[in-house]
Amino acid sequence: MLVPHYRMPRRGFLQASDAGVVAAGLPGLSSPVRAESGTGCDKSVLFVLMSGGLSQLDSLDPKPQAPPEIRSEFSTIATTIPGVAVCEHLPLLAQQADRWSIVRSMSHHEHNHLLATHVALTGRPTPVPRGASDLDRVQSRTDFPNMASALDYIRPRTDGIPTGVSLPNYYIEGPLTWPGQYSGFLGPKHDPWQINQDPNDPNFRVEALSLQGGVTQQRLQSRRDLLDQINHPAQLQSDRSSCSFVEQQDVAFSLLTSAKVTTAFQIDKESIETRERYGRNKFGQSLLLARRLVQAGVPVVQAAMGHVQSWDTHGDNWGRLKNTLLPQLDRGLAALMDDLASHGLLDQTLVVVMSEFGRTPKVSNLPGDPKPGRDHWAAVYSLLAAGAGVRGGQVIGLSDGIAAYPLSRAWSPADLCTTVYNALGVGEDVHLMDPLGRPSPLLNGSVIEPLYSGREA
């Protein structure tokens, strides 16, 4: 039996609660799915997602000796890791390489954006037939929950701080909502909190954390007290929909009364100098906001660089990388790492910079487009990891001479998800019940031990 999907209309919630709050962006509700409890941990994870697919050959795994139809148009520059080079358009990353582990042997089998996104964020394939169309692969309540959602279920919070926040884009392409971005069969109650606004906009303001005019914190609390009297437990037991309303009210009240969360979104409190260091663009300011959310105690933060600034470089691969994508990534990551270190957060924050896959070694051209590009490629790709005990200044894994396949042990998205859960203190005994009532282990891969030991398996 599938988990029912309950989504509260915004107007209905406001009328039911009369709390004078705006509920846009709050997760919905569902019946719980049983799971074993995990262990506690104070660490956070910050995902930097380059949706579309970062070209490994033009960034972290250049092959300057490859044939002309393979190699990048970019030159390479040395890093602080002896003998290791990266693309010339990542100079700040090259200087900070002693903080990062570069993994060059990530691999899986899904070359489609939707399927690969689900694999990347959940460690599981999407539950659709192989021959299905993209319309059948869109986000569904039969999907496996992503990491923020699973953590919210096994370790629910009561302090008003959301377990997961994703910003500034929801991955939607035309009618297609990419799977893997939310809680799937755990139900909408455990969806990460999604921010769909540009933090670089001077008018940036998260409405769900704003009180309507004339509603003070004291008045809000008095309304909460009244609602508690109205929402009598005996009535709620016999009325499931009413219980759902109350759970939604609890989320809203918790967020509104959490000073940490409210303050975290006040990005205009940062100095002009700090904002400039990140870059005054959507991606740079999203990384700055992500740092503020980590500082506020949000366990899982996802900063997305995609769609509007997509890494899906079928055409004009080198122009887009050189002029926009790589410079913004380089500048934003350098500022992020400096800030996490200066705020004492780097030791407790695992930072993962990743795509759903890489790009083809062979250069191609879209019909009618004179500017060459690269297509989807999941057989081998690269990612970055730092913080929370990860050893910096190392390369893990080796690809072949054209960055097409791993020559050393391949690491999968399941391994990455298991590594993240391990960093968050989630035990191996945690199981979720899928929609068919079958227990499924949450950790379905191996911890990428070389990240911590510095020794290849």
Q: What is the pLDDT of residues 106-129, one digit of tens each?
A: 999 999 999 999 999 999 998 887
Q: Note the Cα 121 to chain centre separation in Å.
A: 7
- Helix axes of 217-230 and 240-256: crossing angle, nearest 10 degrees: 160
| Length of the chain, in residues | 457
Are 209 and 254 in contact by the 8 Å Cβ rule? The answer is no
Q: What is the mean pLDDT of residues 200-228?
A: 60
With a CB cutoff of 8 Å and minimum separation 6, the contacts of 230 are: none
pLDDT at 26: 43
Judge whether residue 18 has pLDDT over 80: no
pTM for this one?
A: 0.83
C-alpha angle 416/435/437, rounded to 5°? 100
Q: What is the DSSP string of 201-248?
A: STT---GGG-BPTT--HHHHHHHHHHHHHHS-HHHHHH-HHHHHHHHH
Q: What is the mean pLDDT of residues 204-221?
A: 57
| Closest alpha carbon to 291 in 333, 254, 258, 251 | 333
pLDDT at 357: 97
Judge whether residue 217 has pLDDT over 60: no
With a CB cutoff of 8 Å and minimum separation 6, the contacts of 287 are: 48, 278, 303, 332, 333, 335, 336
Which of 38-42, 253-257, 423-427, 439-443 is least confident? 38-42
Which three-class secondary structure state does DSSP give residue 105?
strand
In the chain, % of residues over pLDDT 70: 78
**Residue 5 binned pLDDT confidence (cut-offs 50, 70, 90):** very low
Are 399 and 405 in contact by the 8 Å Cβ rule? The answer is yes
Which of 153-162, 205-214, 386-395 is least confident? 205-214
Integer Cα distance of 111 and 107 in angstroms: 11
Phi, psi of 29 (to 5 degrees): -135, 155
pLDDT at 450: 97
Which of 217-231, 283-297, 430-444 is least confident? 217-231
Mean pLDDT of all residues belonging to the chain? 83
Bigger pLDDT: 251 or 406?
406
Q: What is the mean pLDDT of residues 331-344?
A: 97
pLDDT at 262: 84
With a CB cutoff of 8 Å and minimum separation 6, the contacts of 319 are: 371
Are 261 and 162 in contact by the 8 Å Cβ rule? The answer is yes
Q: What is the mean pLDDT of residues 431-446?
A: 92
Residue indicated by tokens 């002009």: 272
pLDDT digit string, tens, across residues 54-110: 999 999 999 999 999 999 999 999 999 999 999 999 999 999 999 999 999 999 999
Where does residue 354 rank: exposed (0-12), middle (13-18), buried (19+ CB within 10 A)? buried
Judge whether residue 49 has pLDDT over 90: yes
Integer Cα distance of 400 and 407 in angstroms: 6
Are 232 and 300 in contact by the 8 Å Cβ rule? The answer is no
pLDDT at 47: 97
pLDDT digit string, tens, across residues 283-304: 999 999 999 999 999 999 999 8
Judge whether residue 241 has pLDDT over 70: no
